[in-house]
Amino acid sequence: MNLDKLLETGDQCIHQEPPTCTSNCPVHLEIIEFIAEIEKGDFQKAYKLMEKKIPFHKILGRICDHPCETVCERSKAGGSIRISELEKAVLAYGSSKPKKVWPVPKNKGTVAIIGGGLSGLTAAMDLDKKGYVVTLYEKSNRLGGRLWNFVDDSLTEEILMEELKTVADKKMTVHLETPIDKNKLSELLTEYDAVFLGTGNWQEKIEYHPMTFQVGDSTLFAGGRLVNGTDSVIFSASSGRRAAISIERYLSKVSLTDSREREGVFETLLHFDISKKEPLAPIENSGVIYSQEEAMEEAKRCVKCQCRKCIEGCAHLRKYEMSPDAYIRQINHSERIILGTHYANKMINSCTECGLCMEECFLNISMKDIIQETRESMVERGKMPVSAHDFALKDMAFSNSSHFSLVRKQPSKEESKDLFYYPLISFSDYVKGLYKGTGKTEYLFYPGCQLPASYPDDIKSIYEYLVGYVNGDVGIYLGCCGAPADWAGQQGLMNENIEAIKKVWEEMERPTFILACSSCIRIFEKYCPEIKVESLWDIYVREGLPNKDHIKTPQTLSIHDACATRENSELHESVRKIVAKLGYGIEELEYTREKTKCCGYGGLVYFANREQSNAFVSERIGESENDLLVYCSMCKDLFVSGGQRTYHLLDLIYPKDNLESATRKSPTLSERHQNRSRVKQILLKEIWREDPMEALMEEEVTLIIHEDVQKSIETRYILMEDIQAVLKNAEEKNERFCNPETGDYLAKLRRENVTYWVKYTNEGEAFLIKSVYSHRMEIVED
């Protein structure tokens, strides 16, 4: 994993970019933080932020011309935030005595300040704090310059004098009534290490560097109206501060220009969309300044401009309050320094890799790709927790085992000749398709592993439809595409799986795969671009729907697009055409099509962090009052488990009268295995007229399991076969503990890398299961 490149990607993120108000504030007051403190009613903390950033804040906080308000994003939705009024309120309610600052030894050099106005005073104070001996020259009989013109009800003479006293308290040498002309300036340049010129007016035009304010290559630096060209007091203060930085750098013999692009006013890279914010008018003062309550209400109007589109759309990023730049720093820290921690691992395994973040980011930063690469790196370094994806990988192995996996060509004419009779050959599309068979497999139906687990009874119907409607022989291939291995970062296992798929493809003479699962589509596009694929839903649109009595009660549905189809606009259209053809209305969700959200199953989050998965479910089902329509079986099962009425597209195409399909309970993990096995049995018996080589998975003994225990079994990803194995071992080998007071038995058995514990009692020929537990620690016994 190229961590340097990763950090470069993180540096592109603009989440921490300052808002336009701060970038247009010449002294860069952290306005979001400032307003946030006011909103909380903490005027003291807000005051400290002013004190830290604004020179002579008790003056400027009352007279600043506030260029920040002109560019405020809130101006587009009700009116700019009244930052000037908020600063006055903070000075009134949050003012505190300055902390005693110990004087810095004055051993860095000497600087002359010409002009006792705001720019000169700012430069003088900043240089004094840095350890320079500062001498100030003012032509009038008092310091302050233009500041005296602002004395009124807001800036009283008392306040101005109090602030100017801070200069006197520094024990600087001040020469009042000392005008400086061109000749005197020349003398000062030889007498002092550097000179700051902030007189407001000068006898001749001065050429200065726009970033450093240095005049030519000399020791002279300019500021105030000489460089601003305006009467802005905040720009004068900023120029004095920036000139002081230049003088410090010059005398320290370091670059005057390095990393100074963002001093003063600059253009922020922040992109902020305020279009969805409700317009709110500014709060009016009831008195000369805001009351504390009025200030807090005005502060609430601030939209806290920040690029959060990816965070707003993602329950995972919000859960960890992680922007891409912070997330990437955490990954870098985990990879480079601590080499894996529980917190970082859990966070990394809680991303669904749905890709919405990249879709929302105008810079195309993809956390999906970063997380995928990180997981692969963790696996390679042995830092991926075994427990995170263990069950999903075992489930994948089951789907590729003889329990489910199957490859068959379309039944031949010879094998099907008993069907070629009237009326079947006249009215059955399936039989017509068999009759037209050529023996060459043009298509291979690949339903994936989750659809047969959730909809076992529909796989045969879909296959018969394809044989009857598609022009060309259609075979079938049951198995798992490898998505669990891909999500888990198990590239070795993923490549093995892909090679097995390609082997079948070659042996079947390179047919087109018909895919029903959106995750399969994503995997084939990523790992098998040479294999031509078509979506089952596209075929329904092209060839027409089966002849069924589809609709009973017309209604409006909201379509949830599977996140794996994000870039498949053709498939999005096909699904909507099918829904419309079936007679249903459609109301789009806010996050739809290419901006769809994940159901919470993607990235194996369902197994790695169930709490996070539930958050995705809860967020998605809360977006619409309509019933949802999905075309991914896991989306259906998760939404229904969250209490949302949800239809799968197959519920509409192959309606069932004996069940309320929108609330059909998701099969248990064990039932999903059994359903897959049953699909294989059905196909072999009813399509290919074969006797299955492997018996259908059946329970060996009768188990009595109450609902609360069943819920625990599902939460811990325990299968009935695991419980059966524990009981069989306990009963046959008498390896169990007995509680003589209750008659309960406790038995354990380690299967592969998991130890299972079962607490049970005998109920005649059955077993009452009282509790089940599993863990991945090895128990060492003497």
Residue pair 745/738 in contact by the 8 Å Cβ criterion: yes
What pLDDT was estimated at residue 696?
Answer: 57
By CB atoms closer than 10 A (0-12, 13-18, 19+), residue 49 is buried
CA distance 298 to 285: 10
Distance (Å) of CA 93 to CA 24, 47, 56, 83, 163: 26, 9, 17, 15, 18
Check whether 412 has a pLDDT greater than 50. Answer: yes
What pLDDT was estimated at residue 101?
Answer: 72
Q: Average pLDDT in the 520-526 region?
A: 97
Assign 782 a pLDDT band (cuts: 50, 70, 90): very low
CA distance 22 to 69: 10
Q: What percentage of the chain exceeds 90 in pLDDT?
A: 85
What pLDDT was estimated at residue 344?
Answer: 81
What pLDDT was estimated at residue 543?
Answer: 96
What pLDDT was estimated at residue 385?
Answer: 85
Assign 649 a pLDDT band (cuts: 50, 70, 90): very high
Of 244-258, 333-347, 429-443, 480-494, least confident by mean pLDDT is 333-347
CA distance 74 to 69: 9
Tens of pLDDT, residue by residue over 3-15, are 999 999 999 999 9
Tens of pLDDT, residue by residue over 711-734, are 999 999 999 999 999 999 999 999
By CB atoms closer than 10 A (0-12, 13-18, 19+), residue 708 is exposed
What pLDDT was estimated at residue 116?
Answer: 97
Q: Average pLDDT in the 630-646 region?
A: 96
**Number of neighbours of residue 589 by Cβ within 10 angstroms:** 18
For residue 758, what is the enclosing H or E element? Answer: strand 754-763
Check whether 780 has a pLDDT greater than 50. Answer: no
Whole-structure pTM value: 0.86
Q: Average pLDDT in the 16-43 region?
A: 97
CA distance 307 to 13: 9
What pLDDT was estimated at residue 52?
Answer: 95
What pLDDT was estimated at residue 171?
Answer: 87
CA angle 132, 137, 142 (to 5 degrees): 120
Q: Average pLDDT in the 316-324 region?
A: 95
In the numeric block, which tokens belong to residue 52?
Answer: 């830290």
Of 51-55, 312-316, 427-431, least confident by mean pLDDT is 427-431
Tens of pLDDT, residue by residue over 562-589, are 999 999 999 999 999 999 999 999 999 9
Sheet holding 646-648, edge to edge: 585-586, 556-559, 627-630, 646-648
Tens of pLDDT, residue by residue over 461-503, are 999 999 999 999 999 999 999 999 999 999 999 999 999 999 9
In the numeric block, which tokens belong to residue 50?
Answer: 């002013």
Rounded to whole angstroms, the maximal C-alpha distance in the chain is 119
**Number of neighbours of residue 325 by Cβ within 10 angstroms:** 18
Strand-pair partners of 630: 648
CA distance 314 to 615: 10
What pLDDT was estimated at residue 419?
Answer: 87
Tell me which of 519 and 701 has the higher pLDDT. Answer: 519
Check whether 657 has a pLDDT greater than 80. Answer: no
Tens of pLDDT, residue by residue over 606-617, are 999 999 999 999
Tens of pLDDT, residue by residue over 68-126, are 999 999 999 999 999 999 999 999 999 988 777 777 889 999 999 999 999 999 999 99
Sheet holding 745-751, edge to edge: 702-705, 766-775, 754-763, 745-751, 737-738
235, amino acid identity: F
Check whether 694 has a pLDDT greater than 70. Answer: no
Assign 262 a pLDDT band (cuts: 50, 70, 90): very high
From 516, 480, 521, select the one nearest 673 (Cα to Cα): 480
Arithmetic mean of pLDDT over the chain:
93
By CB atoms closer than 10 A (0-12, 13-18, 19+), residue 17 is middle
Q: Average pLDDT in the 220-241 region?
A: 95
Residue pair 549/655 in contact by the 8 Å Cβ criterion: yes
Q: Report CA 678 to chain centroid distance, whole Å.
A: 39
Q: Residues 616, 621, 624, 628: what is their CA dihedral angle, to the nearest 10 degrees? A: 120
Assign 298 a pLDDT band (cuts: 50, 70, 90): very high
Check whether 603 has a pLDDT greater than 50. Answer: yes
Check whether 210 has a pLDDT greater than 60. Answer: yes
Assign 659 a pLDDT band (cuts: 50, 70, 90): low
Distance (Å) of CA 167 to CA 5, 52, 102, 112, 645: 49, 17, 15, 15, 72
Q: Report CA 735 to chain centroid distance, whole Å.
A: 49
CA distance 119 to 611: 57
